[in-house]
Amino acid sequence: MRLVLLGAPGAGKGTQAVFLKERHNLAHISTGDIFRQNLKDATPLGLEAKKYMDAGQLVPDEVVMKMVGETLSKFKPDEGFMLDGFPRTVKQAEFLEGLTKIDGVIMFKVPDEAIVKRLTSRATCKSCGNVTNINEHSVCPSCGGELYRRDDDNEATIRSRLKVFHEQTEALVEFYRSRGLLIEIDATGMPEEVFSRVVETLEHD
């Protein structure tokens, strides 16, 4: 099974990807991880991307597509994966179509107000990296470590990120809907509840 995961910041894609990986043995391909690895290894594509990043510019589609294409070329035909963070544009989606067959595009839907509430109460443990709710815990419930909040987890920044997300993905969502690949999942509630909806849709349709 080869899937694309879509969802606004804070929609829970990362958590659901962990569940999907365990249940279906799918590789989790994150665009962010691909970028970091190319930068770390100082590959030609990584160095090219760094030029744009150092200048405060967006990395062009062509560079992103080459990086993803190189990663996907290493997969055997019978190996499944989830793409997280790619494609972001219709151009990238068309490029992906030329590389491999996608079985489904899961769109995790959460109302903006719920995401704002979720992210403004998010805290991360300095010791183990566990993410929890600052309103429910004063220390990490996993290891007792100190909690901290990310600088960008404030309402103004979150609303700005959501606005950009909706503007960027509107055409992409319609692209996949027109191909009959879009799977819309209500991503509100506990992560386990959301995953049960994913399983119900993927395994019983």
- Position 54 scores a pLDDT of 84
CATH number of the domain that 30 lies in?
A: 3.40.50.300
| Given the residues 109, 150, 163, 177, the one annotated as active site | 150
**Residue 154 backbone zone (phi > 0: left; psi -120 to 50: alpha; other: beta):** beta
2 catalytic? Reply is no
Residue 117 lies in a domain: no
Residue 131 lies in a domain: no
**Residue 203 backbone zone (phi > 0: left; psi -120 to 50: alpha; other: beta):** alpha
- Position 35 scores a pLDDT of 86
Report residues of the chain scoring pLDDT below 50. Answer: none
Q: Which has the closest alpha carbon to 106: 192, 165, 2, 185?
A: 185
Residue 150 lies in a domain: no
| Given the residues 66, 88, 91, 159, the one annotated as active site | 88
Residue 37 lies in a domain: yes
Please indicate, yes or no, whether the overall pTM of this predicted structure exceeds 0.85.
no
197 catalytic? Reply is no
Q: Contact at 8 Å (CB) between 141 and 130?
A: yes
Burial (0-12, 13-18, 19+ Cβ within 10 Å), 159: middle
- Position 36 scores a pLDDT of 86
50 catalytic? Reply is no
23 catalytic? Reply is no
Residue 169 lies in a domain: yes
179 catalytic? Reply is no
Residue 155 lies in a domain: no
Residue 87 lies in a domain: yes
Domain count, the chain: 1
| Given the residues 50, 66, 161, 197, the one annotated as active site | 161
- The residue segments making up the domain with residue 7 are 2-110+163-204
- Position 14 scores a pLDDT of 85
* Measured distance CA(68)–CA(91) in Å, rounded: 13
